[in-house]
Amino acid sequence: MSDTITQECKCCGNEDDCIEGLCQSCSIYNYELQKKVDLLTLGLLQEKTKKKGKVTESIFTSDVLVVPLADIQHIEKNQYGLMIITKHTKWNFEHDTWENAIFLPDRIKAEFTKAWCRYRQELEIDTLKDLTEI
Ligand SMILES: [Zn+2]
């Protein structure tokens, strides 16, 4: 029996020659684990940086329309149906309507809305709240 207090490894509980509360094998194990976590975190960060501001498709194309999605300001519903208001669209005060707006035919409404939502989602991915965390 020795008088000196042997320290228990706080990881495995074995009494050993502990360095900062960890035996040598646990110390190596934890070091390797930390290295893996760091690499994983770095990988995720790089992935996030790569994704930032990148969109899969920036142009909506159909048989009757080709619309650069970045030019769109908003979509408006009015008596004529759906109108795409772009940065080139101006309000005509004389005729009380949009000038140069893009009329969206009903049959491609769903397809266009899907493309538009996907585009915005990809663009705003970093600032969107993750609802799965709530
Ligand atoms: Zn240990």
What are residue 33's DSSP bridge partners?
A: none
Q: Report the C-alpha gap between 68 and 60 in whole angstroms.
A: 6
For residues 26 and 12, the answer to whether their CB atoms sit within 8 Å is yes
Q: Report the C-alpha gap between 125 and 134 in whole angstroms.
A: 17
Task: Sketch the domain layout of the chain as residue ranges.
Answer: 1-51, 59-133
Say yes or no to pLDDT of 51 above 70: no
CA of 4 to the centre of ligand 1 (A): 19
CA of 53 to the centre of ligand 1 (A): 45
Task: Give the residue, 54 or 74, on which the prediction is more confident.
Answer: 74
Q: How many CB atoms lie within 10 A of CB 77?
A: 9
85-128 confidence digits (pLDDT tens): 999 899 989 988 888 899 999 999 999 999 999 999 888 887 77
User: Residue 3's pLDDT is what?
Assistant: 53
CA of 40 to the centre of ligand 1 (A): 24
Tell me, what amino acid is at 46?
A: Q
